[in-house]
Amino acid sequence: MAYTVAEKILKEHLVEGELKRGTPIAIRIDQTLTQDATGTMAHLEFESIGIPRVKTELSVSYVDHNLLQTDFRNADDHRFLQSIAARFGIWFSRPGNGICHQVHLERFACPGKTLLGSDSHTPTAGGCGMIAIGAGGLDVAMAMAGFPFHLIMPKIIGIRLTGTLPPWVSARDVALEMLRRLSVKGGLGKILEYFGPGVTSLSVPDRATIANLGTEMGATTSVFPSDEVTKAWLVAQGREKDFKEILPDDGARYDEVIEIDLSTLEPLIACPSSPDNVVPVSQVAGRPVSQVIIGSCANSSLRDLLLAAKVLEGRSIHPEVSFEINPGSRQVLENLDDLGYLKPLIHAGARIHQSGCLGCIGMGQAPATGTISLRTFTRNFPGRSGTKNDQVYLCSPEVAVAAAITGKITDPRQLGSPPTIEIPSSFIVNDNMIIPPPEDGSGVEIIRGPNIKPLPQFDPLPEDLKGVVLLKLGDNITTDHIMPAGSKILPLRSNIPAISEYVFSAIDPQFSSRALETKEKGEGVFIVGGENYGQGSSREHAALAPRYLGVRAKLAKSFARIHKANLINFGILPVIFADPADYDRIQAGDRLVFRQVRKALETGRDTIIIEIEGGGEILGRLDLTDRDRRILLAGSLLNLARQA
Ligand code: F3S
C-alpha cells in the first residue's frame, strides 16, 4: 500500500476509525500549543478536568497576542499563565519571545509528530513535516489531558509543485495563488499536501508560510514532506536529533491533484477585505499607501526581514509611509542583528516592534482613515486592523518593501535585480525566554489576578429547544464578527460575563442585552447564517460567550470546521439547512421550535424538523458524529469529560 505523507503520520497516530475519507477518526496528540488570547481559558478548562500534569510529550504556552500592558489585566494574565504552566508541566514562552508559530517551528516542531494548537494558524508547523491542526482551547485542554483529538477524516489534496520561483516572487505568492484558485472555502474538509520536484527549492520557513495560509482556505491542515531541506533547518536550529525523513510513497494516491509551476507565478496581492480577493500586483499598482507592515506568523522569518533590509540598504522609506516591522521571534531579531541587517532597517526609517502578533490582531498600529495599509499578515477581514472601513491589502515582503520605498503599490520587479539572500547554516539559538516546567510542579501556587473569573456552568440540552432568532446574517461571517478582538476586548478573555458584552457588537450593539433578556425569560437564542459561517480564527470565545448569553442553536447553509467544533464543545447545536432555499423563509424575530431535539440526537437521526411559528416547518440537517451528539446532550464537552 502506498501512502501520502499525511496518511503516514495519521496512520501512526490513529486511535479510532480508519483513513476512509469523510468518516470520524480520533488521533493521538504528541504536542500542544496555546497562546495567551485562547490560553487563559484553555488552562482554566484543563485545570477543571482534574488531571495533575499534562499527558502529552510536549505542551507549550506562548504569550504573543496581547503584549500591551495598559492596566493590570494583561500583566496579571501573563503571571497566571506562567504559574499554571509550571504547576501542570507545560513549557512557557515568555512575552516578547515571539509568535507561537514561528517559535514553535524554530524550537519544537518535529517531523512525523502531531500538534494541536488553540490558534487557527497552528498548521504553520506543517512546513516541518508535522500534522499540525488548529482547534478550540477546550479541544487543546482535552489533548493536554491525554484524550485523543476527534475529527472527520479529510480528503487529501496533492499540490504538485514544479519549477522554481522567478526573481521577486516568493512563498507568499504560492499561497496567494492557492487562495486565488481555491477561495476561503476551498480547503474545507481537506488536507493540502505539497509534493513534487518544486518542493525542494523551498526552505522550511517558506513551506511554513504556505502551510500557515492554508488556514485561510479553511483547510484542516497543510503538510510538506520531511526531507534534506527539513534536516538542514533542524541542524541550523541545533536539533538534528529531531529529524526523521517522511516522503510520500511512490504511487501514493491523492484525492485530487493541483498543479503549480512555480516559474509561472508573478507577484500577487489580496485586495480588501478577504484573503482570497487576489489579483496580480500590476493590476492595482500606483494606489497610494500610508502604512506597510512586515510581520505576523505568515511572513516574519529571518529570510523575510533580511529581504526587506537588503532592499532598503542605501534607500529611505517614503515620507508618506509608516513602515513597521513585527519580527516573528527574538531568534529572528537576534540573528538579523548579528548579520548586520537590523541597522539598514532602522536607518531607512522602519518602526521596529517587539516580537509578537501586535497589529495583526488589532493590538495597535491601526491604519489612518481612508488610506491603504499593505501587510504581510494572514487576513484582512473588515475592521480587523482596528480602523473602521479599513483598506488592508495582503502581500509578500517583496511587494511590501517596494511600497515602503515608493509610497504606492508597486510591482517589485521594477526595483531592478533582487538581492541575494543567504541564510546561515546555523542560527544563534538562545532559549532563555522559554521556561521548562519543574519535574514536580505539584507545589507551585497558581497566581490568579482579579481578572481571572471562574468558568460558567452550562445545562444539558432540553427535550425541545424553543426560542427566538435574534440575528439573521449573510455568508462568510467570521469569528471576528461574532467575538471581536482588539485592545479593549482581549484583556477580558478570562472573564466571560465581561467579554460577552462584545458579542456581535459591530453588527448589533444591543445584541448581548437582548440575548440576556431572552435567556432570563427561559427562551433559547438562535442565530441564522449563510455559507461558511464562523470562518477565521479558532477563537472559542466566539462559541463560549454566545452560549453564556443563551445561544442554543445556529442554523446556517454551512459552517467553518473549527467554529463548528467549538459550537458543539459549548453545547450550541449547529444545524444546516437541508434545503438552502429555506434560508429565505426565516427572518430575525421569528420564533422557532426544534421539537424532540434530545431524542433526535439520542437516536442518531440526521435530520430535525424546525417549526417556524406561524410559518410552517423546515428540515434541518444534523451533520454530527456520535461523539458530537454526546457532547451536545451533556451540554458541553467539559460536562461530558466530567461524567467520564
Ligand atoms: Fe498572531 Fe496574527 Fe498569527 S494574531 S498567531 S500573527 S494570525
Residue with the smallest CA separation from ligand 1 atom 5 is: 297
Atom of ligand 1 nearest to the CA of 35: 5
Task: Express each pLDDT in 338-377 by its tens digit.
Answer: 999 999 999 999 999 999 998 888 888 999 999 999 999 9
- Which of 38, 66, 105, 378, when mutated, tests ligand 1's pocket best, judged by the most ligand atoms within 8 Å of its CB? 378
Is the pLDDT score of 457 beyond 80? yes
pLDDT level of residue 275 (50, 70, 90 thresholds): very high
- Residues ≥6 apart with Cβ < 8 Å to 255: 21, 155, 156, 157, 190
Task: Express each pLDDT in 37-96 by its tens digit.
Answer: 999 999 999 998 899 999 999 999 999 998 988 889 999 999 999 999 999 999 999 999
Q: What is the DSSP string of 95-127?
A: TTSB-HHHHHHHHT--TT-EEEESSTTGGGGGG
Mean pLDDT of 14-42: 96
CA of 458 to the centre of ligand 1 (A): 30
Give percent of the chain with pLDDT exceeding 90: 90
User: CATH: 3.40.50.300, 3.30.450.20, 3.40.50.2300, 3.20.19.10. Which one for 465-643?
Assistant: 3.20.19.10
Q: Is 539 tagged catalytic?
A: yes
Nearest to 153 by CA among 254, 28, 19: 19
Q: What is the DSSP string of 357-411?
A: -GGGGTSS-PPPTT-EEEE--S---TTTTSSTT-EEEEE-HHHHHHHHHHSB---
CA separation for the pair 397, 403 (Å, rounded): 10
pLDDT level of residue 483 (50, 70, 90 thresholds): very high
Same fold: 5-264 with 270-413: yes
Q: How far is CA 562 from CA 137, 502, 628, in A?
A: 11, 21, 13
The pLDDT assigned to 112 comes to 98
Residue with the smallest CA separation from ligand 1 atom 1 is: 357
The ipTM, to two decimals, is 0.99
Is the pLDDT score of 231 beyond 90? yes
pLDDT level of residue 115 (50, 70, 90 thresholds): very high
Task: Work out the mean pLDDT of the chain and round it to a whole number.
Answer: 96
- Residues ≥6 apart with Cβ < 8 Å to 518: 467, 468, 470, 524, 525, 550
Task: Express each pLDDT in 574-625 by its tens digit.
Answer: 999 999 999 999 999 999 999 999 999 999 999 999 999 998 999 999 999 9
Q: How far is CA 370 from CA 288, 387, 391, 408, in A?
A: 11, 9, 7, 15
The pLDDT assigned to 57 comes to 98
Could you tell me the residue ranges of all domains in the chain?
5-264, 270-413, 465-643
**Beta strands 114-117 and 91-93, pairing class:** unpaired
CATH of domain 270-413: 3.30.499.10
- Which of 64, 99, 538, when mutated, tests ligand 1's pocket best, judged by the most ligand atoms within 8 Å of its CB? 99
Q: Is 590 tagged catalytic?
A: no
Q: Is 64 tagged catalytic?
A: yes
Atom of ligand 1 nearest to the CA of 300: 6
The pLDDT assigned to 453 comes to 87
Q: Judge contact between 468 and 590, C-beta under 8 A.
A: yes
Which residue is it, cell 479599513?
A: 390
CA of 357 to the centre of ligand 1 (A): 5
Angle between helix 561-569 and 541-548 (nearest 10): 40
CATH of domain 5-264: 3.30.499.10
The pLDDT assigned to 490 comes to 84
Task: Express each pLDDT in 292-320 by its tens digit.
Answer: 999 999 999 999 999 999 999 999 999 99
Task: Express each pLDDT in 492-541 by its tens digit.
Answer: 888 999 999 999 998 999 999 999 999 999 999 999 999 999 988 778 99
